[in-house]
């Protein structure tokens, strides 16, 4: 009996120990370092944040994460009990200071120099010769470099100030991971393209969740098991991808789309390059790049003048592409270096050209796309430019391909022999609409270790898409970020999108959405390459160009103003607006009305930019949909928008929002009629009203 009692006591103690471990209460800390963890309005977001929140949910812990400075969080977790800090790199210098759960994610640290800097490194020790290296106190890079005997470290207060100091040449080198560059650069208001990877690696970094040393081992085991299960079930990949995409949407790394210019030395009617340019345009559209193409018609003087004029223009492109030619390559590279514009060469041979190695003699020559002999046989010559655009796109977003190579083949050799003639004809007919080129990009797939540029993969993706769609009725619709009506960040993509989905679903049609610039979506309707887009207000011009659905949601456009600058507005009619400085977005419905009334306005590419001008007092009024304006202001200025902004009582315009359908697409009118029938049905069933009330209840 005694032995039984002792055994029972041991079991009870184990159960109680586990219960205590499960009930341990922690102060959970993090610090601002996008895209891993950052605040957006009142929300805490990021890759690491999403993983930690998933663990908290799985273990029934409260979500009470606090944002503190890095050094404060580091100090508290090291010296206080029951503290957690993420994300922290697990390195030998910290190993015994904390307990660890992870890794959450991994990346590589490299030394970066400023674009165009003459500094040349071949190994880590070379960096000891520069005057200053910027890092943050107690950062993994600080501890690592200090342990290696670096005495030229300059400790900066935070990442934003580190980036700013680097941008004004107060620092020679800065150790960074690729993924964070465009985000922190945005915070610091510096261009991400000023950072040039030296190719010299510091170490592989693994982000962990760090716990105070007093944490029970059972708790560490629970957290580790929860993380392992998240990874094993595929949840990790899903939330990682969603968090990355959300970060890019939140930070709007480029206020305007990056512009790439391709200088084609051949005539515009060259058959091979007609395919190539169509392919490039499809890639550019998919990756949201502006692509401009110049033809020199085999005239090298014309080509050089074109390049010189573009590089000398007040508004310069983010990068250029050009075809390799022994007669003028060096001259082009000298020009791009002079004007500090990144350049990418499309080679006509399978061997790298030896004007030196890219990024050495010509620092702004980023790399080259090689053409293998096999490419000519399989017509893959027309893929060169598109693949190069993906590399340049990733480079501008902080994913420098130098980690992999500076010279890329325009094909994947093992796959070439499997390419059949018929699929080749499919793509030579420029059928790129089924291809998601983001799948080839490291920016959209940070887990990609190596680029896979192959025609075989393009064909497979195209066939998979056709196979999937053949078994279901699918309609692809274009929309854009315009919360609360449409947003990739909202449940069901926003209330308007939810209604569209329900109406088509009622008719047995599956909806798929592409979020892109709204003007581009309208243009695609006009040329028939897209079937439908939304939300749009009726204007006489639009009613001539497209089919309109019945009204989906009513709209009230109001005039927002800044209470700190001007409040005594007189507005009874449109003519009264002439005396005020008005901000607007080109292409919106009021553009026609302003033109008719002779009202001039300052044009901005987005509502966010217009509101920033209003916030700074540079304009007096800004018209937009009332709900859109309030939603955006709450996101931009969560703590002050009510005190700063107001709107005139008299609306500018009462209207309605609709889905519009292409008049040039063969299915445009039929789909409009099917949607109208579906909308009528969901209204009769009460589905429409339920979606509307649920979607707008917070507004």
Mean pLDDT of the chain: 85
To the nearest 5 percent, what fractions of the chain are helix, strand and coil? 45, 20, 35
Report the range of poorest mean pLDDT among 339-353, 517-531, 591-605.
Answer: 339-353
| pLDDT of 645 over the 90 cut | yes
The pair of structure tokens assigned to 190 is 């510096």
| pLDDT of 128 over the 80 cut | yes
Q: What is the CA radius of gyration of the chain?
A: 28
**pLDDT tier for residue 414 given thresholds of 50, 70 and 90:** very low
Q: What is the mean pLDDT of residues 287-296?
A: 88
In this prediction, residue 604 carries a pLDDT of 84
> Is residue 37 a contact partner of residue 44, using CB atoms and an 8 Å limit?
yes
The pair of structure tokens assigned to 304 is 């050089």
**pLDDT tier for residue 416 given thresholds of 50, 70 and 90:** very low
Does residue 209 have a cis bond before it (omega within 30 degrees)?
no
In this prediction, residue 275 carries a pLDDT of 79
Please indicate whether residue 374 or residue 34 has the higher confidence score (pLDDT): 34
Phi-psi region of 120 (alpha: psi -120 to 50; beta: other; left: phi over 0): beta
Model pLDDT for residues 462-473, shown as the tens digit of each residue: 666 655 554 458
Model pLDDT for residues 156-188, shown as the tens digit of each residue: 989 999 999 999 999 999 999 888 888 898 889
In this prediction, residue 473 carries a pLDDT of 81
In this prediction, residue 345 carries a pLDDT of 93
Nearest to 223 by CA among 373, 100, 336: 100
Nearest to 623 by CA among 576, 583, 572, 592: 583
Nearest to 372 by CA among 362, 384, 363: 384
Q: What is the mean pLDDT of residues 341-365?
A: 80
Please indicate whether residue 174 or residue 356 has the higher confidence score (pLDDT): 174
Q: What is the mean pLDDT of residues 668-696?
A: 92
Is the pTM higher than 0.75? The answer reads no
| pLDDT of 195 over the 70 cut | yes
Can you tell me the distance from the alpha carbon of 68 to that of 158, in angstroms, rounded to the nearest whole number?
Answer: 12
> Could you give phi then psi for residue 426, rounded to 5 degrees?
-60, -45
Can you tell me the distance from the alpha carbon of 496 to that of 583, in angstroms, rounded to the nearest whole number?
Answer: 26
User: Under DSSP, is residue 390 helix (H, G, I), strand (E, B) or coil?
Assistant: helix
Can you tell me the distance from the alpha carbon of 257 to that of 442, in angstroms, rounded to the nearest whole number?
Answer: 18
What is the helix (H) or strand (E) element at residue 510, kind and residue range? strand 510-515
Where b means 16+ CB within 10 Å and e means fewer, 185-201 reads bbbbebebbbbbbbebe
């Amino acid at each position: 009996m005694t032995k039984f009692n002792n055994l029972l006591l041991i079991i009870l103690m184990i159960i109680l120990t586990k219960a205590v471990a499960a009930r341990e209460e922690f102060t959970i800390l993090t610090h601002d370092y996008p895209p891993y963890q950052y605040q957006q309005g009142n929300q805490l977001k990021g890759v690491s944040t999403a993983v930690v929140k998933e663990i908290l949910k799985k273990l029934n812990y409260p979500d009470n994460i606090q944002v503190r400075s890095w050094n404060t969080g580091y100090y508290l977790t090291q010296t206080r009990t029951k503290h957690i800090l993420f994300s922290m790199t697990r390195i030998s210098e910290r190993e015994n200071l904390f307990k660890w759960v992870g890794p959450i994610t991994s990346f590589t640290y490299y030394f970066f120099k400023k674009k165009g800097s003459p500094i040349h490194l071949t190994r880590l020790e070379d960096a000891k010769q520069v005057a200053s290296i910027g890092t943050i106190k107690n950062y993994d890079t600080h501890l690592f470099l200090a342990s290696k005997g670096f005495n030229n470290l300059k400790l900066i207060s935070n990442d934003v100030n580190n980036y700013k100091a680097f941008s004004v040449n107060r620092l020679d080198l800065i150790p960074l991971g690729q993924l964070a560059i465009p985000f922190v650069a945005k915070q610091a208001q510096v261009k991400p393209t000023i950072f040039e990877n030296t190719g010299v690696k510091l170490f592989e970094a693994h982000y962990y969740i760090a716990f105070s040393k007093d944490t029970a081992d059972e708790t560490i085991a629970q957290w580790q098991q929860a993380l392992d299960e998240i990874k094993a079930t595929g949840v990790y990949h899903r939330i990682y991808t969603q968090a990355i995409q959300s970060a890019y949407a939140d930070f709007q790394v480029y206020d305007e789309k990056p512009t790439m210019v391709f200088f084609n030395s051949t005539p515009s009617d060259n058959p091979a390059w007609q395919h190539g340019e169509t392919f490039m345009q499809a890639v550019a559209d998919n990756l949201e790049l502006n692509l401009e193409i110049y033809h020199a018609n085999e005239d090298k003087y014309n080509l050089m003048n074109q390049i010189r004029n573009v590089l000398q223009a007040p508004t310069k492109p983010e990068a250029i592409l050009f075809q390799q030619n022994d007669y003028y390559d060096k001259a082009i590279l000298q020009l791009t270096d002079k004007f500090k514009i990144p350049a990418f060469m499309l080679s006509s041979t399978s061997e790298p050209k030896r004007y030196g190695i890219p990024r050495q003699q010509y620092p702004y020559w980023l790399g080259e796309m090689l053409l293998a002999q096999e490419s000519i046989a399989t017509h893959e010559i027309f893929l060169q430019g598109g693949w190069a655009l993906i590399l340049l796109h990733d480079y501008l977003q902080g994913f420098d391909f130098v980690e992999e190579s500076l010279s890329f083949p325009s094909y994947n050799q093992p796959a070439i022999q499997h390419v059949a003639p018929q699929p080749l004809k499919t793509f030579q007919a420029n059928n790129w609409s089924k291809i998601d080129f983001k799948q080839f990009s490291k920016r959209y797939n940070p887990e990609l270790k190596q680029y896979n540029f192959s025609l075989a993969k393009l064909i497979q993706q195209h066939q998979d898409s056709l196979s999937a769609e053949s078994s279901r009725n699918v309609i692809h619709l274009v929309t854009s970020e315009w919360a609360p009506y449409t947003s990739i960040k909202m449940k069901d993509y926003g209330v308007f999108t939810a209604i569209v989905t329900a109406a088509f679903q009622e008719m047995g049609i599956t909806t798929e959405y592409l979020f892109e610039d709204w003007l581009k979506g309208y243009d695609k309707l006009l040329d028939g390459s897209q079937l439908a887009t939304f939300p749009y207000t009726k204007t006489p011009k639009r009613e001539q160009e497209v089919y309109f659905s019945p009204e989906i949601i009513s709209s009230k456009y109001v005039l927002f103003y800044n209470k700190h600058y001007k409040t005594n507005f007189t507005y009874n009619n449109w003519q009264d607006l002439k005396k005020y400085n008005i901000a607007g977005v080109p292409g919106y419905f009021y553009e026609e009305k302003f033109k008719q009334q002779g009202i001039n306005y300052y044009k901005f590419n987005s509502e966010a930019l217009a509101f920033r001008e209003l916030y700074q007092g540079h304009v007096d009024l800004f018209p937009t949909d009332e709900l859109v304006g309030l939603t955006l202001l709450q996101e931009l200025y969560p703590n002050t928008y009510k005190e700063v902004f107001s709107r005139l009582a008299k609306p500018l315009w009462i209207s309605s929002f609709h889905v519009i359908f292409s008049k040039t697409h063969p299915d445009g009118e039929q789909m409009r009629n099917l949607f109208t029938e579906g909308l009528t049905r969901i209204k009769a069933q009460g589905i429409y009203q339920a979606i509307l009330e649920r979607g707008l209840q917070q507004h």
